């Protein structure tokens, strides 16, 4: 594929631009990114999008958008805007009759919406609707990967042991997906599944699962994840968080090494896109400084990570930073600061829609947290938590009322039906 695209690029530069040039430029940009030439990759990707519009290559536009936005744009553009670009790519493909590229873009829209911190009720709805539409059309290309996102959202909302009576019948279960993975013939699904398992283990402090975590960064170094995509980057971020958590728990140096490697990787991409990766690099470094008992540096890094996540609209990662800062303060005996951080984490998790994560932290404070303060102080803490939950519950209701409908809603004609 890349050799053909390179030949078309050469012809375009020597003879002239043709209708095949934009798609060739897009694929070649992915190759440039893989070899580390970020600036040229972004330049060529942007050129591909521009030429597709100027040449009016309507039938290719959706594919070009999918390639550039998923594999290149995240290096410099906010994830939130990339999600919307994929939605545009979906609509463009539907109008042009390019069903494959259209579905690819919508699959990327769902996953990027999740990673960028979209409210989980929205993620749950758009992923569920997409799976239902795929099944209706008998096009099962992205069913399992989208089901992983749907199940991830459902777990964060309802908890790891959610009631199966609320489970959509058209969505494959974790058991069904794991059975498919066990067959060993779905490499891409296996990698996605490993990333989401790692994230769930961290979200719900499942230490046994953490200890069996996949080696995402090592696998990427072996080129098994080529080309680099957003889910891999987030997997490496969570691998770093898990590694520092396990290093603190087990005192094993091997976990520290893994955490450091993840931190180095995040710092590399932070230079490319501070919007997408600054808060992640800062949080991993804060965890490392905390582990090394560099308390002053850790304090500043936690605060900087919180500020960066808030400024860049990653509400879920702002919550994670608040929670980890809370553990840091608690370990040092600063209970008032710890409680304040935990309260802010609860606020963020509720705003994200992660009710199960919020409840886990409430339970931790009320049951496991050693409140050495007076009864009055305990009552104030409990009241503060309850007020936070009540206020955010109202905010969630407002968000749900204004929830954007899935683009698949109201589709009265199937994409392959003739006009």
Whole-angstrom CA distances from 92 to 19, 20, 52, 100 are 17, 18, 12, 12
Say which residues have a Cβ less than 8 Å from residue 359's Cβ, sequence separation at least 6: 159
Question: Does position 402 have pLDDT exceeding 50, yes or no?
Answer: no
Select from 39, 10, 9 the least CA-distant residue to 26: 9
Quickly count: other Cβ atoms within 10 Å of residue 358's Cβ.
Answer: 24
Quickly count: other Cβ atoms within 10 Å of residue 104's Cβ.
Answer: 23
251 dihedral zone (left: phi>0; alpha: psi -120 to 50; beta): left
User: What's the pLDDT band for 219 if we cut at 50, 70, 90?
Assistant: confident
pLDDT at 174: 87
In the structure encoding, which two tokens stand for residue 97, read together? Answer: 């009759």
CA distance 379 to 280: 34
Select from 126, 47, 119, 125 the least CA-distant residue to 86: 126
Give 106-144 pLDDT, tens digit per residue: 999 999 999 999 999 999 999 999 999 999 888 888 899
User: What's the pLDDT band for 318 if we cut at 50, 70, 90?
Assistant: very high
Give 236-294 pLDDT, tens digit per residue: 999 999 999 999 999 999 999 999 999 999 999 998 899 999 999 999 999 999 999 99
pLDDT at 395: 46
Higher pLDDT, 108 or 377: 108
pLDDT at 377: 44
Residue with the two structure tokens 């594999």 = 71
pLDDT at 10: 66
Say which residues have a Cβ less than 8 Å from residue 348's Cβ, sequence separation at least 6: 315, 316, 318, 319, 322
The rounded Cα 109 to chain-centroid distance in angstroms is 11
Output phi, psi for 144, to 5 deg: -65, -40
Residue with the two structure tokens 């009631």 = 163
CA distance 383 to 242: 32
pLDDT at 180: 86
Using H for helix, E for strand and C for coil, what is the string for the chain?
CHHHHHHHHHHHHHCCCCCCHHHHHHHHHHHHHHCCCHHHHHHHHHHHHHHHHHCCCHHHHHHHHHHHHHHCHHHCCCHHHHHHHHHHHHHHHHHHCCHHHHHHHHHHHHHHHHHCCCCHHHHHHHHHHHHHHHHHCCCCCCHHHHHHHHHHHHHHHHCCCCCHHHCCCCCCCHHHHHHHHHCCCCHHHHHHHHHHHHHHHHHCCCHHHHHCCCCHHHHHHCCCCCCCCHHHHHHHHHHHHHHHHHHHHHCCHHHHHHHHHHHHHHHHHHCCCHHHHHHHHHHHHHHHHHHCCCHHHHHHHHHHHHHHHHHCCCHHHHHHHHHHHHHHHHHCCCHHHHHHHHHHHHHHHHHHCCHHHHHHHHHHHHHHCCCCCCHHHHHHHHHHHHHHHHHHHHHHHHHHHCCCCCCCCCCCCCCCCCC
Question: Does position 415 have pLDDT exceeding 70, yes or no?
Answer: no
Q: At what angle do helices 335-352 and 375-401 cross, to 10 degrees?
A: 20
User: What's the pLDDT band for 15 if we cut at 50, 70, 90?
Assistant: confident
Give 350-362 pLDDT, tens digit per residue: 999 999 999 999 9
Say which residues have a Cβ less than 8 Å from residue 412's Cβ, sequence separation at least 6: none
The predicted model scores a pTM of: 0.86
Give 37-84 pLDDT, tens digit per residue: 888 899 999 999 999 988 888 789 999 999 999 999 998 899 999 999
């Amino acid at each position: 594929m890349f050799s053909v695209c390179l030949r078309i690029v050469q012809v375009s530069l020597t003879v002239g631009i043709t209708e095949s040039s934009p798609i060739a430029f897009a694929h070649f940009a992915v190759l440039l990114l893989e070899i580390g030439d970020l600036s040229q990759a972004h330049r060529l990707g942007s050129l591909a999008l521009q030429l597709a519009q100027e040449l009016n290559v309507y039938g290719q536009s959706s594919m070009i958008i999918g390639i550039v936005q998923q594999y290149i744009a995240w290096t410099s553009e906010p994830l939130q805007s990339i999600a919307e670009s994929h939605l545009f790519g979906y609509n463009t493909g539907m109008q042009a009759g390019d069903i494959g590229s259209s579905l690819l873009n919508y699959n990327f829209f769902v996953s990027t919406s999740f990673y960028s911190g979209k409210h989980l009720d929205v993620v749950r709805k758009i992923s569920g609707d997409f799976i239902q539409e795929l099944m209706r059309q008998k096009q099962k290309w992205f069913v399992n990967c989208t089901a992983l996102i749907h199940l991830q959202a459902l777990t964060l909302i309802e908890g790891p042991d959610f009631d199966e009576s609320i489970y959509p019948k058209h969505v494959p279960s974790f058991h069904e997906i794991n059975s498919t993975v066990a067959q060993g013939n779905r490499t891409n699904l296996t990698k996605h599944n490993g990333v989401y398992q790692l994230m769930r283990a961290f979200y719900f402090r499942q230490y046994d699962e953490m200890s069996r975590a996949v080696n995402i960064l090592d696998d990427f170094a072996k080129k098994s994840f080529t080309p680099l995509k957003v889910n891999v980057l987030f997997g490496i971020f969570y691998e770093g968080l898990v590694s520092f958590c396990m290093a603190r728990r087990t005192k094993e140096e091997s976990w520290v090494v893994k955490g450091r490697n993840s931190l180095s990787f995040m710092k590399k991409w932070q230079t490319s896109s501070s919007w997408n990766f600054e808060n992640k690099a800062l949080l991993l470094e804060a965890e490392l400084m905390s582990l090394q008992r560099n308390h002053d540096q850790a304090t500043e890094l936690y605060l900087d990570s919180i500020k960066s996540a808030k400024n860049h609209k990653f509400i879920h990662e702002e919550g994670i930073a608040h929670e980890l800062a809370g553990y840091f303060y608690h370990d040092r005996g600063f209970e008032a600061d710890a409680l304040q951080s935990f309260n802010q984490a609860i606020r963020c998790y509720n705003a994200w829609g992660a009710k199960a994560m919020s409840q886990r932290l409430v339970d931790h404070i009320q049951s496991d947290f050693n409140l050495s303060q007076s009864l009055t102080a305990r009552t104030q803490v409990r009241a503060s938590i309850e007020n936070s939950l009540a206020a955010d519950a109202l905010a969630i209701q407002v968000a749900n009322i204004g929830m954007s409908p899935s683009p698949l809603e109201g589709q009265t004609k199937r994409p392959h039906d003739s006009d």
